[in-house]
Structure 1
Amino acid sequence: MTAGTSPAGGALAELGRFCFRRRRLVLLAWIVGVIAVAFAGFGYGADPDNDFSGGDSQSARAQQLMEQHFPEEQGDRLTLAIKAEQGIDDPAAKQRIEKVIAELADSPVTGPVMSPYQDKSLVTKDRRIARTTIPLAAKEVEKSEVKPLVDTVKAASDAGVTLALGGYMAEKAETPPQGPAESIGILAAAVILFVAFGSLVAMGLPIVTALLAIVGGLALMKLVGHLVPAPNFALTFGAMIGLGVGIDYALFIVTRYKDGLGEGDDPENATVKAIATAGHAVLFAGTTVVIALMGLFVMGQRLMTGLAVATSITVLVTMLAALTLLPAFLGFTGHRINSLRLPRRASRRNRAVSAPSQERRTLAERWAGVVQRRPLIAALLAGGSLLVLAVPTLSMRLSQPDASVQPRDRSSYVSYEILSEGFGPGYGAPLVFVSEVDSANPGNSTTRDLGPVVEAVGKTEGIAQATPARVSEDGKAVTFVAFPTTGYQDEATTDLVHKLRGEVLPGTPGGEHVLVGGPNAGTIDVADEVGSRLPLMIVVVIAMSMVLLIALVRSVTIALQAAVMNLLSIGAAYGVVVAVVQWGWLGSALGFPAPMPVTTWAPMMMFPILFGLSMDYQVFLISRVREEYERTGDTREAVARGLARTAKVITAAAAIMIAVFTTSLLGPDVAVKQGGLGMAVAVLIDATIVRMIFVPAVMELCGKANWWMPGRRRAPETTSTAPTDAREEAATV
């Protein structure tokens, strides 16, 4: 594009021009708006909701009955685990144990505590291991109130007596905050941007834009939580994704702006052109991510819906910032975008400008030529590699993290270890059986006397013990508890629950009225529901994203290519997560204390995010390929030049995403680590195997069929849906 050429009109072009010219007003509006939203959101936002037991599963109905008829047994409880080498009756050990129990009982946040010296059922036969349950007095107790109890118990341990506090709240109280992970991600992004742009000013614009947008987005997430509750990890995921896409979107626009300046545009025209071209791709890319996230609605999980809404808000705010706040920043920087440069880059550019045009083929363009000379071999190698990486996905198991997969120095893990040794691994995975008395015939013995059911359950292989049945105070429900011989994460426990529901209870008099619940059964039900609904979500996300991509590139072929390639890359990422997390390959090196099933919500959340992000890169690449094709009419040259024009920026964008997602491995939450690992691997695969090999190979094989669209008999000419100013740019090169 020659100097002085004005970018064509259009809504995005006018938006960019307005934000550039009224930059002070736009910047002031953003600052005031973010401060106001942050004050409201972080001060009065909704608390997180981590209840995954919603829906109509058997465990959810069992929980409703327990809350209705056994309210005194509801609420959080802690478990004190005790192991004394000389036995708990040793005078020194007894003195220490009783002192700790007294301190726990005197806490304002606990209820009455039963001493194991008063109930022999709380002590093993050899009197070396004991336990007691500590009810929390209030229904809502902060983890900061529980942390002193954990510290008290840990401090009381010595070489002869080990004491540990377990339970959900103890585990939560011990989990440290996410820490500096996001800060490290920002630092890594800054380094990558500085290397890519060679300028401190150009480096700072995407980061400042993204950070301002993230603050506003996270605050809005907290406010929307009053309408659509989201789990506590929504903020962590929102920050990770917002930081990644926010910097990436700004990166694409700043790159296009710098290209415009280099071609002779003044700052205003360069800004307008950048918003009308790269901004056009950002708009479609951000919309694709949001649409993909909306696919979580089909999972039927209330908290997954909340997570989708919350994360979408962050993506929308970062996209809006890239299209409005960034043009205002560009208005302030103007030609100073290249200030504070790396000295050696200038000399490189000067040598490149003076070199003959035939010698200026970039490494990416030459690589595309290599792939295009052997497209079938390249496609088979790329596709085969992705399929091999995806193989472990076939053995994926879903569950929720419990104490057994926590770091070994945590009190919750020590408690689990002691209780498993003394009372069996199934002590931490109790199954709660509950039946409602027939209101029409309350004297019906089959609904009140669960003796035969308790006996049948107790004799079932895999059950260590079943407690006697108890009738509720209102006389309307009966319950008992059974402990498996296997632990919370064991596949045998899942099989046991299915056997009890499918065979044992239906075949026992009165058993057909009994529901199997409890935290363990709830986790199994959610995993089963996720496994059954996940294929539907995948189909919905792919279909919606394809429709959007077809609207952008006007090609069914390219949309199908994108869907298949993205599906393969995500499958490969799933496979790597299973190999690391579930099989234990390099697990300890990456911060996973022990092999464990994949967290139930991780694959649900990973798929729409990764599919949307993969579509981002597809949009940016194909948009440039489309421009080159319209200019030359040669698919091979268009792919090579499109890849060359986008390789550097897509590589930088992918490196930023990988850096941001990888920093999750530095945090304490094993579930968030799984999601971060999977997304980092997927982006790495997408930016290398897919974009550098698969895309040029498949597009070379398809030739002019790349541009097939029903009702159109030939490849597109210069009229297209691409931004008009992009065609003018191509025409004047």
Structure 2
Amino acid sequence: MTTETPHTGGALAGLGRFCYRRRRLVLLSWIVGVIAVTIVGFGFGAAPDNDFSGGNSDSAKAQKLIEKHFPEQQGDTLTLAIKAEQGIDDPAAREKIEKIIAGLDASPITGPVTSPYEDQNLVTQDRRIARTTIPLTDKNVAKAEVKPLVDTVKEASGDGVTLGLGGEKAEKAETPAQGPGESVGVLAAAVILFIAFGSLVAMGLPIVTALLAILGGIALMKLVGHVVPSPDFTVILAAMVGLGVGIDYALFIVTRYKDSLQDGDDPESATVKAITTAGKAVLFAGTTVVIALLGLVVMGQRLMTGVAVATSVIVLVTMIAAVTLLPAFLGFTGHKISSLRLPGRTSRRHEPDGVPSLERRTLAERWAGVVQRKPLIAAVLAGAALLMLAAPTLSMRLSLPDASVQPHDRSSYTSHKIISEGFGPGYGAPLIFATPVDSTDADLRPVVEAVSKTEGIAYVTQPRVSNDGQAATFMAFPTTGYQDEATADLVHELRDDVLPKAPGGAGIYLGGPNAATIDLAEDTSSRLPLMIAVVIVLSLLLLIVLVRSVTIALQAAVMNLLSIGAAYGVIVAIVQWGWLGPTLGFPTEMPVTTWVPVMMFPVLFGLSMDYEVFLISRVREEYERTGDTRIAVTRGLARTAKVITAAAAIMIAVFTTSLLGPDIAVKQGGLGMAVAVLIDATIIRMVLVPAVMELCGKANWWMPGRRAPKATSAAQPRVGEEARV
């Protein structure tokens, strides 16, 4: 057994040794710290902010005018939709409708409710469909207070009368909690780890480390929200990412620790070696993910910056836990890391030279050999497959979900369906025009007339001037719905053609929720290339520092772009085109949620770099031993295939559990990231990487001002060699 501790120098070696020897202190510090942060974070953390408006768009300017000069219009509202088969004047129907309206009016969270029996504008000509608006007295009313109203309306439907309660607050109130998704993800990860390690102890360490880090990370994220606010989906997204990377990072370190024990090291030496090799790779990989996430800042969108910062906090905490808390756990387990083994599992046979014999070549080695014999064909076929998968990305449309894309058993969808049938699909997509004026006598009739004559407009309301005589507003309802591409085209036509040509129309801003969604989507699309460029450049620089090769860094960037592009294409095909959509929990065809591709890119680029780091680090070790790229790739792939496959399987399991939840946008993001990780772990790592590295040969290791490394004469690594991983 080796008694000498390798890598006696260096900060990481010192950190690993300290955490191992002072394991009780480290563990106690983590437990006390997490408990304290959790109490403060969950007790005093910032509330989510879902206001994506802002900036310098027309919709933002219109909103500012309305907020300043029409304060009476700022409250949140609900919409009651009514459909009576025999007409709302049928005695039985009227009795039920009036009872519901009276109940809504009497609620402590609602203002006065106008009955459709009092205002004929709220009823269709055939008097089968009616609507009314229910003002809420508090802008910050809780979901729990709105939920009883939704349930009352939903339960009252029947006997020829269908009722639905819509509005943003109603949608959120009836949206179930995320459910068992994270628990299922943890269970799936546990099964994968048990199969990979064959031991309950080894399985438990990554999970416990990740869960403790995520708990503290989410609490800290809530505190950071006071400085940098983020929307409500951030917690779910950050928990998925944190769970995936947290377990993966611990998995890589535990795997290296077990290998060192099997190579004859004592537990302390194995811990130090794991931290100075896999731990170093974890720090580089985690830093890459954080840098990629912070690339969202260049989007210039306040809430996306909040998402980036919040998710980065989670990744940082899991990364720190991997190199501090995990070594402490390893100190407690020692040689018992393989205790409680899977029946029938045996330890890896130790080879004197550290290299499996020809007779025992793994499946990964044999596969690498197949690819390397025909590298050009393999690269062309893999590249073509990825480009085919990415092709639908060219038709991607962005929007934000509304009631029309919610599950059809929701009251908000029922309300949308009834309103669309009776008052047109554009009722849920109103266009709000606002402009500064000089007096209460301002004449907007020429503009209103020009808008009303525009093709695609159903009807226009009469203009209203604010009480202070400084602003005026009116509304127009399109003939198409919130998610229809024709509605976006109409907004552009009104802004670019109709308003500039109408007398007095040049200073009018077109806003409203629908226009704000369109502006956000277009602003996102225009800034996305800049964000991609920033993430790629920063990640490339970091990877060059790690692998000391410009060629490999460029290969990684191109391959990552291909895998993410393919994931985008799959999302478009499923969500926007409807292929397998209902099967996977998407009720209808819909545009891709605006923030999904923006968030997917930095997360996936960072995660892809994780796998690149762990694979190329091993390949480089083998190359510096042998000087032969083919052998290095074969052995590097063989040594990392199992752990990368397990890590990818964990990521896929965690991300796909989002499909069990109720949030349409989170489902899109989870599915897209799961697809990307699957592609990365199969087509990229198993085909493109060995094929392209075979084609490049010694050029793989090109670095300006430095000659390619030479092989050492011994098969074993030189002193300190593994510290460079």
TM-score (ref. length: structure 2): 0.97
Deviation at residue 610 of structure 1 after TM alignment: 0.2
Deviation at residue 159 of structure 1 after TM alignment: 2.8
What SS is found at the alignment partner of 1:513? coil
Q: Tell me how far apart the structure 1 counterparts of residues 347 and 504 of structure 2 sit (CA, whole Å).
A: 85
Deviation at residue 424 of structure 1 after TM alignment: 0.3
The match for 2:669 is 675
Deviation at residue 354 of structure 1 after TM alignment: 14
The match for 2:396 is 396
Assess, with a 3 A threshold, how the Cα gap between structure 1 residues 352 and 491 changes in structure 2: closer, same or farther. Answer: farther
Deviation at residue 585 of structure 1 after TM alignment: 0.2
Assess, with a 3 A threshold, how the Cα gap between structure 1 residues 129 and 728 changes in structure 2: closer, same or farther. Answer: closer
2:583 pairs with 1:607:
no
Deviation at residue 729 of structure 1 after TM alignment: 9.0
- For residue 484 of structure 2, the aligned residue among 476, 483, 490 is 490
Deviations 1:107-162 (A, max 9, x none): 00000000000110000000000000000011210011000000111111113101
Deviation at residue 727 of structure 1 after TM alignment: 1.6
2:680 pairs with 1:686:
yes
Structure 2 contact 500–506 (Cα < 8 Å) conserved: yes
Please show how residues 142-541 of structure 1 align to structure 2 within 5 Å: 142-346=142-346, 349=349, 357-438=357-438, 442=439, 448-541=442-535
Please show how residues 129-140 of structure 1 align to structure 2 within 5 Å: 129-140=129-140
The match for 1:78 is 78
The match for 2:119 is 119
2:632 pairs with 1:635:
no
Q: Which moved more, 1:348-357 or 1:566-575?
A: 348-357
Instruction: Give the letter aligned to residue 417 of structure 2.
Output: E
Instruction: Give the letter aligned to residue 668 of structure 2.
Output: Q
Q: Tell me how far apart the structure 2 counterparts of residues 100 and 523 of structure 1 sit (CA, whole Å).
A: 33
Structure 2 contact 276–723 (Cα < 8 Å) conserved: no
The match for 1:708 is 702
Deviation at residue 710 of structure 1 after TM alignment: 1.3
2:571 pairs with 1:577:
yes
Instruction: Give the letter aligned to residue 448 of structure 2.
Output: V
Instruction: Give the letter aligned to residue 489 of structure 2.
Output: D
Instruction: Give the letter aligned to residue 371 of structure 1.
Output: V
Q: Tell me how far apart the structure 1 counterparts of residues 212 and 85 of structure 2 sit (CA, whole Å).
A: 56
Q: Tell me how far apart the structure 1 counterparts of residues 593 and 255 of structure 2 sit (CA, whole Å).
A: 38
Structure 1 contact 109–137 (Cα < 8 Å) conserved: yes
Percent identity over paired residues: 77
What SS is found at the alignment partner of 2:526? helix
Deviations 1:192-225 (A, max 9, x none): 0000000000000000000000000000000000
CA RMSD of aligned residues (A): 1.9
Assess, with a 3 A threshold, how the Cα gap between structure 1 residues 326 and 712 changes in structure 2: closer, same or farther. Answer: same
Assess, with a 3 A threshold, how the Cα gap between structure 1 residues 126 and 23 changes in structure 2: closer, same or farther. Answer: same
Q: Tell me how far apart the structure 2 counterparts of residues 359 and 729 of structure 1 sit (CA, whole Å).
A: 30
Deviations 1:449-480 (A, max 9, x none): 11010110011000000000011111111100
What SS is found at the alignment partner of 2:472? strand
Deviation at residue 358 of structure 1 after TM alignment: 2.3
What SS is found at the alignment partner of 1:433? strand
Assess, with a 3 A threshold, how the Cα gap between structure 1 residues 208 and 347 changes in structure 2: closer, same or farther. Answer: closer
What SS is found at the alignment partner of 1:671? helix
Deviation at residue 347 of structure 1 after TM alignment: 7.4
Deviations 1:664-719 (A, max 9, x none): 00000000000000000000000000000000000000000000111224446679
Assess, with a 3 A threshold, how the Cα gap between structure 1 residues 453 and 728 changes in structure 2: closer, same or farther. Answer: closer
Deviation at residue 2 of structure 1 after TM alignment: 5.5
- For residue 657 of structure 2, the aligned residue among 639, 649, 663 is 663
Q: Tell me how far apart the structure 1 counterparts of residues 667 and 104 of structure 2 sit (CA, whole Å).
A: 33
Q: Tell me how far apart the structure 2 counterparts of residues 286 and 342 of structure 1 sit (CA, whole Å).
A: 31
Structure 1 contact 221–310 (Cα < 8 Å) conserved: yes
Deviation at residue 357 of structure 1 after TM alignment: 2.3
Deviations 1:550-586 (A, max 9, x none): 0101110000000000000000000000000000000
Structure 1 contact 166–412 (Cα < 8 Å) conserved: yes
Assess, with a 3 A threshold, how the Cα gap between structure 1 residues 578 and 34 changes in structure 2: closer, same or farther. Answer: same
Deviation at residue 359 of structure 1 after TM alignment: 1.1
Deviations 1:590-634 (A, max 9, x none): 000000000000000000000000000000000000111011111
Structure 2 contact 262–350 (Cα < 8 Å) conserved: no
Structure 1 contact 628–730 (Cα < 8 Å) conserved: no
Structure 1 contact 718–727 (Cα < 8 Å) conserved: no
Structure 1 contact 574–678 (Cα < 8 Å) conserved: yes
Q: Tell me how far apart the structure 1 counterparts of residues 7 and 544 of structure 2 sit (CA, whole Å).
A: 25
Deviation at residue 342 of structure 1 after TM alignment: 1.3
Assess, with a 3 A threshold, how the Cα gap between structure 1 residues 717 and 703 changes in structure 2: closer, same or farther. Answer: same
2:578 pairs with 1:588:
no
Assess, with a 3 A threshold, how the Cα gap between structure 1 residues 403 and 33 changes in structure 2: closer, same or farther. Answer: same
Unaligned ranges ≥5, structure 2: none
Q: Tell me how far apart the structure 1 counterparts of residues 310 and 712 of structure 2 sit (CA, whole Å).
A: 41
Deviation at residue 346 of structure 1 after TM alignment: 1.6
Instruction: Give the letter aligned to residue 508 of structure 1.
Output: A
Structure 1 contact 273–725 (Cα < 8 Å) conserved: no
Deviation at residue 12 of structure 1 after TM alignment: 0.6
Structure 2 contact 436–470 (Cα < 8 Å) conserved: yes
Unaligned ranges ≥5, structure 1: none
Instruction: Give the letter aligned to residue 528 of structure 1.
Output: E
Q: Tell me how far apart the structure 2 counterparts of residues 597 and 328 of structure 1 sit (CA, whole Å).
A: 47
Instruction: Give the letter aligned to residue 610 of structure 1.
Output: L
Q: Tell me how far apart the structure 1 counterparts of residues 252 and 388 of structure 2 sit (CA, whole Å).
A: 32
Structure 2 contact 626–712 (Cα < 8 Å) conserved: no
Matched residue count: 722
Structure 1 contact 255–649 (Cα < 8 Å) conserved: yes
Q: Tell me how far apart the structure 1 counterparts of residues 646 and 97 of structure 2 sit (CA, whole Å).
A: 58
Assess, with a 3 A threshold, how the Cα gap between structure 1 residues 718 and 478 changes in structure 2: closer, same or farther. Answer: farther
Assess, with a 3 A threshold, how the Cα gap between structure 1 residues 356 and 135 changes in structure 2: closer, same or farther. Answer: closer
Q: Tell me how far apart the structure 1 counterparts of residues 175 and 146 of structure 2 sit (CA, whole Å).
A: 12
